[in-house]
């Protein structure tokens, strides 16, 4: 999967991304680390996106 770093914009193959040094989770971690600027983030999943959508919708309804 091609990932784009949200900080520096560098595009790279996230499957080749190395784990963060010193992390006890190791290879089971879902975190992606940019090989250019070393910024780390976790990609959203469809389930997380749906939950965030529903949460925002519920919060907006509560304001009415």
Quote the pLDDT of residue 48.
Answer: 76
What is the b/e burial string over 36-62, where b = at least 16 CB atoms within 10 angstroms of the residue's CB?
A: eeeebeeeeeeeeeeeeeeeeeeeeee
Query: What span, in angstroms and rounded, lies between the C-alpha atoms of 19 and 16?
Result: 9
Higher pLDDT, 55 or 17: 55
The number of distinct structural domains making up the chain is: 1
Residues 9-50: tens digit of each pLDDT: 999 998 776 666 666 666 667 788 888 998 888 877 788 778
Domain that holds residue 16: 2-63
């Amino acid at each position: 999967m091609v990932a784009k770093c949200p900080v520096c914009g560098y595009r790279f193959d996230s499957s080749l991304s190395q784990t963060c040094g010193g992390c006890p989770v190791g290879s089971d971690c879902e975190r992606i680390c940019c090989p250019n600027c070393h910024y780390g983030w976790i990609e959203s999943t469809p389930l997380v996106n749906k939950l965030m959508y529903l949460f925002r919708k519920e919060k907006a309804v509560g304001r009415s």
